[in-house]
Every structure is written in C-alpha cells, then in structure tokens.
Amino acid sequence: MKTARADGFFGMYRGAAVNLTLVTPEKAIKLAANDFFRQLLMEDGMQRNLKMEMLAGCGAGMCQVVVTCPMEMLKIQLQDAGRLAAHHQGPASVPSSRSYTTGPASTHKRPSAALIAWELLRTQGLAGLYRGLGATLLRDIPFSVIYFPLFANLNNLGIDELAGKASFAHSFTSGCVAGSVAAVAVTPLDVLKTRIQTLKKGLGEDTYSGITDCARKLWSREGPSAFLKGAGCRALVIAPLFGIAQGVYFIGIGERVLKLFE
C-alpha cells in the first residue's frame, strides 16, 4: 500500500523489464540443465533415484546463476529505489525514485537497468554484476535440490499410462507445491543474498563484508525471525511461477514451436 501510494500503480512493477528480459533464459537453463543431468546420471532420466535427482538439481542450480546473479542484482536495485528515496528525503516528503549511483556521488538520474549495469561495469567491472555470487549459489543450489526431486515425485503421481505424461493441471499443481515448499525452505538464504546485493543503504543500515558477516549482524540486531522475512511473499510468487513454467515445459509447447522452424 505504501509503495502504490508513493510511486503509483507502476511502482509495484519496478524491475519488471529485467525480469522479462532475463527470467526466460534463467528458466530455460534451469529446466534444460536439470533434464540434461538427469539423463547423464540416470539411465533413461525417468527412473526413481532420489540421490541422483538431488544431484541433478544441484547441477541445474549451479548452471542458472550465470543469469540469475546479474538479474537479481539489477532487479534489487530497481525495486529498492523508492525505499531509498524515502530514507533520504524524510517522512514528510513523497518518495520518488529519481537517482542512482554505485559510488559516493549522486548522478540524479532516473534508475534504469541499463544505467545501473553501466555504473557497475564502469566502477567495479564484471565482478560488480556478480556481487553476491556465493550467496546466490548458496540459495539456488539448495532450492533446486529440494524443488526438482519433489516436483518429479509429485508429478509422477499423476502420469496417465495411456498418454505417458501428467496433465497440465497436475504438472501445474505439482510445480506450485514443490516451488512454494522450496521457496520457504531457502528463505533465510534469500534474505542474506538480498541484503548483500543491496548496494545503496539507507541511513543507519548495515553494510556487509560477506555471508558470515551478514548472518551474524542479522541475527544479533534483528533476531532469528529476520531470516524468514518475506517467506509468505516468496511462496506466493514462486508457486505460480514454477507451476506455469513446469506445466508449459511438460506439455511440450517448446517442442511444438521448434517444429514450426524445421
């Protein structure tokens, strides 16, 4: 409500362009990598072997961070701009996200993904876009280790023997359930990643030298409940996201599209 009141309806969609641009290759890498590793580690990719399924998920989580880390970096800065404006302007003024810089001096430019990416590359090089890579790996690997085996086993429950696959509705539901469970389970790691990747800090906010330092400060100053901040929101977002992605993936829309170009 505060965001909508301060920045308008479209303030709720800040960072959407980054998501639209990069979430497609991210999900493509994640789903294709999991299938690749399943085929590599298991004879036909379909047999039930929990350890191999978890290992395949681990491989998928490692592959996806090539896209996920810079995507999260840019998205977090864009989504955080309004809150920072409120910090700097004070409670009496109406927040407006109109400045961004990765350095000490303000550029007074409207933040955009291109501007933020350029500033990071100019001041910190490619490493700037991959700030928080370790924390991203720490979140995405356990997520995939939990998600993919759980989804595979839930989806297997609805496979039609005649069709040889589950219905879209069952795959969608399996993706929703597996996604929400995995999202809540790794929320503490997502909190650490987000804190580390937030470049600009409000007045009195901590800076962190790494994952351990962030976890220690978060525990001592905000308590253990801070590690579960946003768990409900993550479940609400991740559940339909993976439900739709997994459902579409399993009904073979991609294969049908590719056939049009053959």
pLDDT digits (tens, 9 = 90+) for 206-231: 888 889 999 999 999 999 999 999 99
Residue 89: pLDDT band with limits 50, 70, 90: low
Residue 203: CB atoms within 10 A of its CB come to: 8
69/73 Cα distance (integer angstroms) = 6
The pLDDT of residue 73 is above 60: yes
User: Averaged over 61-67, what is the pLDDT?
Assistant: 94
Position with higher pLDDT, 96 vs 72: 72
Residue type (1 letter), 190 = D
Of the chain, the percentage scoring pLDDT greater than 70 comes to 85
From 29-43, 45-59, 134-148, 227-241, the region with the lowest mean pLDDT: 45-59
What average pLDDT does the segment 140-147 reach? 96
Mean pLDDT, rounded, for 170-187:
94
HSE value, Cβ hemisphere, 13 Å, CA-based, for 182:
29
For the ranges 69-83, 199-213, 231-245, the maximum mean pLDDT occurs at 231-245
Whole-number pLDDT of residue 95: 40
- Statement: residue 137 has pLDDT above 90: yes
150 band by pLDDT with thresholds 50, 70 and 90: very high
Alpha-carbon distance 259 to 262, whole Å? 5
d(CA 75, CA 189): 17
85 vs 27, residue with greater confidence: 27
Most confident of 44-53, 76-85, 105-114, 240-249: 240-249
Check pLDDT > 70 for residue 53.
Answer: yes
The pLDDT value given to residue 85 = 59
How many CB atoms within 10 Å of residue 106? Answer: 12
Contact by Cβ (8 Å): 76, 198: yes
What tokens does 244 get?
């739709």
**Mean pLDDT, residues 81-110 taken together:** 50
Residue 101 has pLDDT above 90, yes or no: no
Model pLDDT, residue 160: 81
The mean pLDDT of 65-80, rounded to a whole number, is 88
Instruction: Pick the most confident of 36-45, 71-80, 253-262.
Output: 71-80
